[in-house]
Structure 1
Amino acid sequence: MAKNRYDQAYESFKSLSNSKLIDIGDRYYDKEVMDSALICYTIVSRRYDTHMPHEDKKLSAYAYMRLGNIHYIMYNYVQAQDMYLQSLEVCKECDLDSIIPRVYNNLGNIYSSFNDFKKAENYYKQAYKNSQTIADSSLSKIILNNLIGVYCNLNDNKTLKYYLNLSDQTLKDSNNDYFNISAKGVWNLNEGNYPTSIRYQKRALHLADSLHLDPLYECSALTNISDAFMNMQRYDSAECYLLKCADIAVENRLLDMQINIYRELSYVYNIQNKADKFLHYTKLYQNINDSIKGMRGYRSIKNVEFLFEMNQIDKQITAMRMEQLLKDARYANQQLILLIVCITLAMITLFLILTYRQKHQLQRSYKDIFKRNQEIVESDKQAKQRDLKYKEEIKKKDESIAQLQQQIAELSIDNVDDPELPANVEPKPNGDPPQKYQGSSLSKEQKEQLLQAINEVMDNTLEFCNVDFTLEKMAYLTNSKTKYVSQIINEVYGKNFNRFVNEYRIKEARSRLMNTETYGNYTVKAIAQSVGFKSNTNFNQLFKELTGITPSMYQDMAQG
């Protein structure tokens, strides 16, 4: 049934934030509902992670400290020490100065419970040293009182005096501080100033009553007064104060105090030779001692049961924490994968956009190039037409001039007896062409005539579209020699014969690709062959070099 109750508590708490759990845990702690408080603090402590926010780390350290307090109250000192040490580890790792002195003080309390006051002294000193850095006067006062208590138990009057003076300097009204007054009484007791010690302890007794302190403090003052009277060998007075202390201890069920008082009373009555009272209190001492052992055994059993239940809850919380960590890790991996996918998609999208824009710009550039080529083709066409027109006009004028010269010649024959021709009339050629390009070089006039002949072949015929159009063929058509043809082409155009011819072929191919009516059904390869290219690869390379786009793109744009 208890397990079900703890399970229900855990289920209701596990989804709450750390700050909310600490708040609920503190309320349970103040009401002394320690099992529910322990569940709240355990959940917070198990959530600790080195990467969590600083405020959550502080709450985890606080939770560990509170867990230590609960185990301390339940007399589970080993577990309490473990919780305090874990709290201290978190505090040091995260520089949580506000919690460190409290943890050191609590560790000192554990060793004080075992009367190991030297060990307790070390922890209290650490606590007091660290408390000075956080300016918490109330905490410093508690730690200072614990140090004073340690030196009272160690009978170290020199150090006790030092801390009493420090307490006087720290406290605003040391005369109304129970611990300060009681410690001064102990110091005087150790110094042998018994009357002074009694006055201080009576003052402490009055403060415990007026300030409504725990009855344990009244008992402490009464036993200190009794000790002073016993040192003065005033056993009746010692007996009186011990009996008062016994009444308070019995009324408030302070068993540990009762056993000490009954032992002291047995000692007093033994000195006074009061056998009946000695036996009575000796028996009470033994009964209380047995009762305490029984209660400690019962308490130990209850603590074992409580610890078992809490360990089960702790295991469950740890398992849930591990499950949550795995979920967080999977979620983080999923987020990382999603981020990578998003980045990849973004990069692909950006790449596609850039590719599209580049392609669009490229297509626009190709269209501009095509348009420019169209203009060039049209310009070449118009230039040829003008050239033909001019040649036709020149031919007609030459014919008119020849007729006029013929008429002049006939008139001259009729009017002049001299058979010689007029000086301004050129003799007719004898029908055989003059022998050209004799010698190793051409004259300027011969070069111009040969250039004109070459251009005539290239501009007004399609001889170059034949696959077998060679330098020898050109020399034959121009009635010249191959070396002169090659010389003129190289000097005038700065090219070799093949390059010169292939550029004309590309011009013709460009025109044919534009002529969709006649060559619309031709493939690029067929066009290349029709203008004299044997290799389609060479045609494609040279076409792109001269026009800026491939022949297939050129054809698509022409047909589009």
Structure 2
Amino acid sequence: MMKLISIIIIVLFSNLANAQKHKIDSLSELKYSELKNKFYDYYDHIKIPQSEHIAKYYLQKAKKEKNSIEIAEGYNLMHFNKDFSTAIKYTDSLTIITKNIKGNLYPARTYLIKGNLYYKNDNLKLALDNYILGLKYAKEQNDEKQTAYANMNIAYINSYIGKNAEAAKIFRYYVYNRNNITDDYQHNQMRIALISCYIYMNKLDSANILIKEGQEYAFTNKNKYNSNLYSYLSGVYDLKLKKYNTAITKLSNVYRYFTNSDENSNINYVLYYLGKSYDGLKNKEKAVENFIKLDSNIQKTDITFPELREVYTYIIDYYKEKNNKEKQLYYIDRFLKVDKKLDEQFEYLATELPKKYDTPNLLQEKEDIIQDLKNRKLVLYTSIGILSVVLLLIVYLYFKAKKTAKEHRKIAQELIQSIEKRNFESTDRKKEVPELPIQEQAEMENKTIKTVPEDVTAFILKELEAFESKQLFLKNGITLANLAKKIKTNTAYLSETVNNHKEKNFNSYLNDLRIDYVLERLVKDKKFRSYKLPAIAEEIGYNNVQAFAVAFKKKTGTTPSIYIKEIENSMIT
């Protein structure tokens, strides 16, 4: 079979060589704009040899004619199908050739091209830096198109770090307000990006409308690549609707197509959602199979995305259930490597995006408003008033946040002191509960409708005592029903006993036990304090860090992170 494939390839390239002279002759009749359109048509349809041939001819023609602008465009076209190191050399040549070119196209365009190259190769730090520089020069040169392109590209980064609402505003604007800024290819990219944002934001009806519109566009243009992209988005849409089998069928077909076309970044996302779909069907083996393929592809390409964190924790949990220590250790190591890269990128982007993009945009908007309203006194005063109110609101929220943080720290300090005092006095002594006067006890008993026999109550209380002393409340997945089953009683008896004797409902009882435990352990156990919050949450029985944080705040009045920080501060002092 491999020999047959090799023969076919040789024949194809022989035919290509024989046809070369004819192609060059036909290309010589085309203008630069026509050559460029032809290049992007081939590139968009994944016809790599043809697009490379056009790019090479374009550059030769420009050099022969000593046309600096078109030489620069030739370098741009040449970089598209090259590996990263070669592509970056072409962009460096682009920088050199455009250094002395007058006009409003460069250097903004060079920075945007470099930004796209870094983005494609998962270096979002340098991608953002180049986009910001591109935006800066585009604005200085009043270039509306390139300003728009910079904003679109930065919107992709916003979407990547989870700020989908902000990104969707940009994408939606250019989908519905093209204004001669986006061509058909770019307009299609904006639609795809907007669909992704809508899916993440659970605006599924809006996403579905655009998916159907995109599928019609791909069908009309006979574009298999776009057709598969919309099939992929349709599969993710079905997954969100829990139509797992339909999602698997669509995503499997797309996976085969992208595998054959060597679209690695697309393959990664397809494998991720295939795994999620199989997980939806409770088919862990198939889910893990796809996640392992995804990890293998990540190692080849080093292209990461935030959802990989849950991929690795899923694989680790799977092998933990199988008691396969070697696989556990291997994927823990893989998780740590990927997590480190994601943390570095996220920390940089989360810091630099507001500083370099959001704040300058706000300041620019402010300047535009002031300039625009100079001759409209009434509107100007209104705007200043609004800005003043906003500023006062920001100041108020700032000081309120500081006050809240101070209160949280004080609560945390008091908690730490009370725990340290209790441990110092007696590590084993339980807090005595003052008995109510006989008359008050009688009144309480009269108010409580007792349906649980006394011997059953005594039995349940004894079991609850064991449940607390053995710290069984730390196990994940405890519910009223499964605890009742375990201690051989029914849920009604257990619920009433907890309500009457613990004076709280079962969920509050369970959360209080866990939070009391974690409060003390964090003070005593330095290693435990070093865990990330998701790991601490899992250790004490919570499914996710959000549930843990809510329970902690409700019980203590402060947050886990502030509590841990105050413990560390108290240790230093």
TM range (shorter): 0.3 to 0.5
TM-score by length of 2: 0.41
Asked which structure has the greater CA Rg, the reply is 1
TM-score by length of 1: 0.42
